[in-house]
Amino acid sequence: MKKAALGLYIAITLALLAWGFYQAIYVAPTDAMQGEIYRIIFYHVPSASVAFLFFAISLAGSIGFLAFRSNQANRAQIADAWALAGAEVGVVFCTVVLITGPIWGRRAWGIWWTWDARLTTTLVLWLIYVSYLLLRRFVAGPQMQTLAAVLGIFGALDVPIVYMSNRWWRTQHPAPVFGGSEGSGMAPAMAAVLGWNMLAWMAWGVLILVLRYRVERQHQQIAAKEAQEALNA
Amino acid sequence: MTSALWTHLVKDLRIEWRSREAVNSMLFFALLVVVLFSLAFSPRGAFSQEISGGVICVATLFASMSALNQAWAREIRHQVLDAQRMAPTSGSDLFLAKVMANFLFVSIVQLVLAPVFLVFYNLHIAGQAWQLLLVLPLGTWALVANGTFFAALSIRSRNRELLLPLILFPIFMPALLAMVLATGSILTGDSDPTLWIKLLAGYDIIFTTVSLLLFDVVLHAE
């Protein structure tokens, strides 16, 4: 039953991705100002949303681990698996954002990179979570999960500060397109395509996240079993 | 100030007074960084004014790595850290004492280095010089408070010397940015550094509070 549900979900996700691709490349009208290059928005923006959402999941996992670690060991392990999965898959999506961004920027602004609020925040966020993953590699033993959770919380705290500091410094990235001031917004035909791609990439991201979570849970169970066997031997 | 904090602080200061390891190694390292940058860019005139804020911050940052690692490596020997964990005092005293000691060491390094720096980079301070007395301590506190915390966090890993900068630098970035921009604007006198001083103060308050709250978790991590 579980396998059938997973298979169905994968099929729906792949169909959504194909539909999203078709919409983005063939259906969406060409932008009046930017021409064809703007189509990268259908990959750039969804990836960014998924990355930020997953980093939030990672933060929630880190807090959950610290909250549960002393009295509810099993819940703490679940929280830690979510923290790891969120950070790892988030880094992958964040990498996509950081690759598609400069490609777009080169055509739209004439420069590859600028130290603007959102670019810098995204880059620093990426660096923080890479360092989080490095910490998980470097530290051995059961204390690793605690230390990683602490770093996860520190990293998340840093994000608003980075954002504000760069906002005061300089800003090149366009002001919020959605829900922004007058003159913002998107043609309805484009917004619908963006919605499809958002849905498709979110579904894909969640699929990878859940798979990664399950792998980590199995990893934890095997490690616990081996530890138990070592005790019994 | 509690007596436990005072005891830790006096102990660290006494060890440093007798060995002078941290200050001397930091001083020489920072001097090397300043000389290397001076060689690499041969700074003159307006260009020198612009980059020197960044150079002094980065030099401090790199130099403090060795001292921060040493601060906890010393406690690992002879299982001192295990004794600290069993001691009936809160971990925040230990943490705060270490931060204060390291803050003093890094500040001494900056004070000694400042004249050397002025000479090598042919600087004159165009803005309000007294503001440097706000910016540098605030930035140093940000560096040392986070650095001490993350050094404690990475101390029990394999290759810990390597891990500290890897996890500290990304978190420290906004403070570094504020410190560099504030120092730069004081040196050039082009703009007002008040905003950046406020940002540094905010950063210090937030991260010192969180470090104090979470230090027990790190100290007793099993």
Vertex B166 angle, CA A82 and A139, to 5°: 55
Q: Are B216 and B90 in contact (CB under 8 A)?
A: yes
- B26-60 pLDDT per residue, tens: 999 999 988 888 888 877 777 887 788 888 889 99
Q: How confident is the model at residue A188, as a pLDDT?
A: 77
Q: Which of A204, A198, A170 is nearest to A186 (CA)?
A: A198
Q: What is the pLDDT of residue A170?
A: 62
pLDDT tens digits, A121-157: 889 889 999 999 999 988 877 788 899 999 999 988 8
- Confidence class for position A218, pLDDT limits 50, 70, 90: very high
For residue range B86-139, what is the model confidence (pLDDT) as tens digits? 888 888 899 999 999 999 999 999 999 888 888 888 888 887 888 888 999 999
Amino acid occupying residue A180: G
Nearest CA to B107 out of B67, B75, B72, B69 is that of B67
Residue in B closest to A146 by C-alpha: B221
- How high is the pLDDT of residue A132? 93
Confidence of residue A117 (pLDDT cuts 50, 70, 90): confident
Report how far residue B34's alpha carbon sits from residue B207's, in angstroms, rounded to the nearest whole number.
28
Q: Is the pTM of this model over 0.80?
A: yes
CA distance B51 to B125: 13
Contact by Cβ (8 Å): B62, B33: yes
Instruction: Give this complex's ipTM.
Output: 0.84
Tell me the residue length of chain B: 222
Which residues on chain A are in Cβ contact (under 8 Å) with B174?
124, 158, 161-162, 165
Q: Answer yes or no: are the C-beta atoms of A48 and A97 closer than 8 Å.
A: yes
* Nearest CB neighbour to A139, from listed B156, B173, B207: B156
Selected for mutation to probe chain A from B138, B150, B157, B210 (highest A CB count within 10 Å) is B157
**Intra-chain end-to-end CA distance of chain A, in Å:** 37
The band of A91, judged by pLDDT with boundaries at 50, 70 and 90, is very high
pLDDT tens-digit series, residues A164-203: 776 776 655 555 555 444 455 677 778 888 888 999 999 9
Strands (E), chain B: none
A36 to A7, A30, A43, A110, B57: CA distances (angstroms): 35, 6, 14, 15, 44
The domain spans of chain A are 2-172+186-232
Domain parsing of chain B, residue ranges:
3-219
- Looking at the predicted structure, is the pLDDT value of residue A66 above 50? yes
- Mark yes or no for CB contact B221/A154 under 8 Å: no
Residue in B with minimal Cα distance to A166: B174
Return the pLDDT at A180.
47
User: Does A131 contact B178 at a Cβ distance shorter than 8 Å?
Assistant: no
Chosen for mutation from A165, A166, A167, A168 (greatest number of chain B CBs closer than 10 Å) is A165
Bridge partner residues of A35 (DSSP): A31
- For residue A138, the chain B residues in CB contact (below 8 A) are 154, 157-159, 162-163
Say which residue, A228 or A182, is predicted with more confidence. A228
Taking every pair of Cα atoms in chain B, the longest distance, rounded to a whole number of angstroms, is: 57
